Amino acid sequence: MRETLLIGQILTFSADPFVAGLDAVHHDSRGAILVRDGAIAATGPADALIARHPQAERVDHGQGLILPGFIDAHAHYPQTGIIASWGKRLIDWLNSYTFPEELRFSDPAYAAEAAACYFDLTLANGTTTVASYCTIHPESVDAYFNEAKKRGLRALGGKTCMDRNAPDGLRDSAQSAYDDSKALLEKWHGVDRLGYVITPRFSPTSTPGQLSALGTLWAEHPECLMQTHLSEQTDEIAWVKSLFPEARDYLDTYEAHELLGAGGLYGHAIHLEQREIDRLSEVGAALVHCPTSNTFIGSGLFDMRLAGALRVGLATDTGGGSSFSMLRTMAAAYEIGQLRGNPLHPAQLLWLATQGSARALRIDDKVGRIAPGMEADLIVLDLASTPGIAQRSARAETIWEAVFPTIMMGDDRAIAATYVAGMRA
């Protein structure tokens, strides 16, 4: 039995700070986490844990801030190679950049290389769990899960399904979407730390028949999540209305085909109507905020006040998003909150990138929190990783003044250490 004590500053959350405020947060300026066989066995003041576990290996991170590993609740790993492509709205961006790149993922070697590169980048940025869209090719799903399994990661993903409004080579059918997704689900779901997610890209690229087929699959496997996109841009919404004239709203295109439920992950969700908000809340669905993507592609400003009524996760949305860093994503979420007249506190930002995203993905019983019994996916933030950050944090009188400069200006240099299931990555 291997025991390790990780020592440093520690932030823990007893509740959602969007609901409970700062009373939900505990800061220990010199705390410790006892890791045993890949899980958190105990937490508390460092001196007390050292006294109780004198034989444990000690790793002292000094003033480093130990947090749960970041959780990216919505990404497209096949778009790694086209991140930061210039100047398109959503539909043009898909046609100009995304679809040509995704065509290449029928090649297992290309998919494997992209998956390895992607996880190198996410781990370097302190992200230990990702929920990703793959492509329509089963090879892309196999590459993603094989690489995650090799690294011992908790990862979620699924085959992206499209049977219209996409180029040749990127369309499946209602039946093949069902068959391929079912086979991949049976192959990967629950293997090690992996979870399959049923994945219609979005309503414009799926016929009603395909949406119904995937709704049937979800009803057969309610233990799985379902991910898709919702109300990202106003011209997209107009397109959806033209394709589904009978629908009450965008959400209804999913609801009518049994693709609305508690395990649903709805990315972006910027331009929601009141009926959509009410139904999402009623069924307990989750929204995923993708701030760098929303500004990069010009989609709009997400309303974080919805976090009081709905589960909300945070995500990079790479490659529509412009960074692999959840720190940069938190900074963008703060800026969007300012523009909406709702600036987010550092506690809220950190919670969104950890436990909030874990709750959205329904894995908060496994990751996203520092507590006994949780898997030991952890990161250590250097709160003085650059001269600019160091000079600002040196003036800090509270932990929030110390951490906020890293949220706003930090990057991969701020990630002093990453632990996956207790092992240094």
Do the Cβ atoms of 381 and 415 come closer than 8 Å? Answer: yes
- Cα–chain-centroid distance for residue 98? 19
- Secondary structure (3-state) at 314: strand
Measured between alpha carbons, how far is 323 from 320 in angstroms, rounded to an integer? 9
**Neighbouring residues of 9: CB distance < 8 A, sequence distance ≥ 6:** 27, 28, 29, 30, 31, 63, 64, 65, 66, 399
Give residue 93's pLDDT.
78
- Cα–chain-centroid distance for residue 180? 24
Domains of the chain, by residue range, sit at: 3-68+369-424, 70-360
- 3-68+369-424 carries CATH number 2.30.40.10: yes
- Secondary structure (3-state) at 190: coil
Give residue 85's pLDDT.
87
Q: At what angle do helices 208-220 and 174-188 cross, to 10 degrees?
A: 30
* Burial class of 387 by CB neighbour count within 10 A (0 to 12, 13 to 18, 19+): exposed
Rg (CA), the chain: 21
In order of 193, 232, 274, 293, 311, the CA distances from 270 in angstroms are: 31, 6, 12, 12, 15
Measured between alpha carbons, how far is 421 from 68 in angstroms, rounded to an integer? 11
Region label for 362, one of left (φ > 0), alpha (ψ between -120 and 50) or beta (otherwise): left
Q: Do strands 160-161 and 127-133 pair parallel, antiparallel, or not at all (unpaired)?
A: unpaired
Query: Please, which residues bridge with residue 419 across strands?
Result: 378, 424
Q: What is the pTM of this model?
A: 0.97
Do the Cβ atoms of 69 and 129 come closer than 8 Å? Answer: yes
Q: Which fold has domain 70-360?
A: TIM Barrel (3.20.20)
Give residue 92's pLDDT.
83
The one-digit pLDDT tens for each residue of the chain (425 residues) are 789 999 999 999 999 999 999 999 999 999 999 999 999 999 999 999 999 999 999 999 999 999 999 999 999 999 999 999 887 777 787 888 899 999 999 999 999 999 999 999 999 999 999 999 999 999 999 999 999 999 999 999 999 999 999 999 999 999 999 999 999 999 999 999 999 999 999 999 999 999 999 999 999 999 999 999 999 999 999 999 999 999 999 999 999 999 999 999 999 999 999 999 999 999 999 999 999 999 998 999 999 999 988 999 999 999 988 999 999 999 999 999 999 999 999 999 999 999 999 999 999 999 999 999 999 999 999 999 999 999 999 999 999 999 999 999 999 999 999 999 999 99
Q: What is the pLDDT of residues 374-408, one digit of tens each?
A: 999 999 999 999 999 999 999 999 999 999 999 99
Give residue 91's pLDDT.
78
